[in-house]
Amino acid sequence: MGLKNYLKIDQFSIDEKFLTFVLILSLGLILFNNLSGSDLPSFDDAYYAQKAKEILSTGDLFTLHYGGVPRFDNTPFYIWLIALMFKLFGINEYNARFFSTVSCLGSMVSLFFIARIISQNKWVRFFSVFVLATTFWYTRYAMHAMFDVTLSFFYTLIILFFLLGITKSERYFLLSGIFVGFSILTKSLLGIFPWIIMVLFLLFYDSKKLLSRYFLLSILVSSVIALPWYLVEYFKYGERFVSEQFRWLFFERAFGKSVPGQNLFSYFYYIKFLLIGYLPWFPLGIAGIYTIIKRKREKKEDWLELLPIIWILTVLVIMTIPGSRKSWYIMPVFPAFALVVGKYLSENILKTEKRNFLFAKILSLTFFGIILILLFFPIPIKSRTFKDLSKMAPVIKRAVPKEQKVNCFAMEFWYANNSFLFYTDRMLKEPVNDIDSLKRIMEPEDEYCYMKTKDYESYFKDNKKEFPIIAGTKKYVCMTNERTYRKLSNYNFLDFEK
């Protein structure tokens, strides 16, 4: 047998299911391999992870705490998942990020089955998953301890069971309702968007199903899952809960004085983000949306392919209205966009079975080659690969009494305190921005200050003996005064990287 025949891949022995499985598996290996290479970023990862830690320390599953104080700015489901990992396997970065990565891979599996329902072309399934797997922003957030990729996973499950309710049995609507409940408990108002998507689609597809028994029951099911947490917190904390969970979160944060002024171009924030964050697939997505809408105007069949467009537009339009906009707020759009791109690529560009299979092989081999390089060579795939506070924390915890707060110089409080509290179990004081004031504050014994290394080198280069470092890295230091340092001289505190 010749080498050419030996290397030949038979299109009937390796199909889209096999290629998709290997694609998801290999991506999972890379993502899970990169979950513990850096400290948790201070906002939002460390903030959520700290709340999960305090579930374990307070034993209070319903009320989330931060620094020992009840906080109501987040719904609890994703934080429960982090707390579960902390309880079972220990408190660390890997376990804090774990469910985001699981959700990323789960979204791809769900997307495969959604594509199977929407299109008879089997290669749409592979290309839809491939597009999502190669969207940098999506896989990047899959390595963060944040809600958004998990929320997008729930969206895909909701839409999958919704489609099964339409095409197979209306009983599947109940499963959609279950995951809408989880979606609401994951990110409050954003968790309700799937109901809007489903209702809008049924108005086009079959409005009678809006009043079907199982669809109405699914709304009840989602309410039964989501409402108890809201009711418990309301009866326990009353106006305080309403003010923080609703008034502050939905109105002051979205439209309040802290929101930047709006102009015409600011309303295109998410379009601009997708143009950059969804490269190289964004042009194909726009072409795919145009093609589907044009086809719908010419003929009325195949209404199912309209669903991902309604999905995309619902999230983008509603999330554009508030003045506060963040790129991760629209993570649930990414699977729907991947579906549109995969469908357009397979059906309108490649078209034939032979071309689909050949292109799928080329993309797969390229992707697997990159995966192998990343697995066998120490190439970090995250932009942040720092180990600062986790390295300094043991020293700080030994030096600073448990209930004592630490001074902070020239940092934004929420940005600095989240990771500091997570790693050291100590809170920071409100930042001091004047160097003379800081020096006066640091005169008494048992005073400590957390600051950037470059600021320490700039302002204390002539006072290092008077204000010595007890722990530090290239980016941050924790220093004290000379009297306190002498008291602690039996410890080997100095760990400063030159």
Nearest to 155 by CA among 91, 96, 201, 106: 106
Strands of the sheet with 476-480, listed across from one edge: 407-408, 448-452, 476-480, 469-472
Residue 199 has pLDDT above 50, yes or no: yes
CA–CA distance, 342 with 356 (Å, rounded to integer) = 11
CA–CA distance, 413 with 398 (Å, rounded to integer) = 23
How high is the mean pLDDT of the chain?
Answer: 89
Residue 493 has pLDDT above 60, yes or no: no
Phi, psi (deg, nearest 5) at residue 400: -95, 125
Q: Find where tokens 């209702």 sit.
A: 199
Q: pLDDT tens-digit profile of 41-69? A: 888 899 999 999 999 999 999 999 999 99
Average pLDDT rounded to a whole number, residues 460-485: 91
User: Do 113 and 126 touch, CB atoms closer than 8 A?
Assistant: no
The single-letter DSSP state of residue 472 is E
| DSSP states of 195-259 | HHHHHHHHHHH-GGGGG-HHHHHHHHHHHHHHHHHHHHHHHHHTHHHHIIIIIIIIIIHHHSTTS
Average pLDDT rounded to a whole number, residues 20-29: 92
Of 96-105, 168-177, 247-256, 315-324, the one with minimum mean pLDDT is 247-256
User: Do 422 and 49 touch, CB atoms closer than 8 A?
Assistant: yes
Residues contacting residue 180 through CB under 8 Å, at least 6 positions apart: 154, 158, 191, 192, 194, 195, 218, 222, 226
Average pLDDT rounded to a whole number, residues 308-329: 91
Residue 272 has pLDDT above 80, yes or no: yes
> Would you state the pLDDT for residue 323?
75
CA–CA distance, 315 with 211 (Å, rounded to integer) = 24
Using CB atoms within 10 A of its CB, is residue 39 exposed (0-12), middle (13-18) or buried (19+)? buried
Q: pLDDT tens-digit profile of 235-260? A: 999 999 998 888 777 776 666 656 66
Three-point CA angle 378, 36, 389, nearest 5°: 110
Average pLDDT rounded to a whole number, residues 443-458: 93
Q: pLDDT tens-digit profile of 351-373? A: 999 999 999 989 988 988 888 88
The top-scoring range by mean pLDDT among 111-120, 271-280, 295-304 is 111-120
Half-sphere exposure of 401 (CA within 13 A, CB side): 6
Average pLDDT rounded to a whole number, residues 194-202: 96
Question: pTM score > 0.85 for this model?
Answer: yes
> Would you state the pLDDT for residue 380?
61
Of 185-189, 375-379, 448-452, 482-486, the one with minimum mean pLDDT is 375-379
At 497, the pLDDT band (50, 70, 90 cuts) reads very low
Q: Are strands 407-408 and 448-452 parallel, antiparallel or unpaired?
A: parallel
At 14, the pLDDT band (50, 70, 90 cuts) reads low
Q: pLDDT tens-digit profile of 65-90? A: 999 999 999 999 999 999 999 999 99
> Would you state the pLDDT for residue 324?
79
**From the CB of residue 187, how many other CB atoms can be counted at a distance below 10 Å?**
22
Average pLDDT rounded to a whole number, residues 422-430: 95
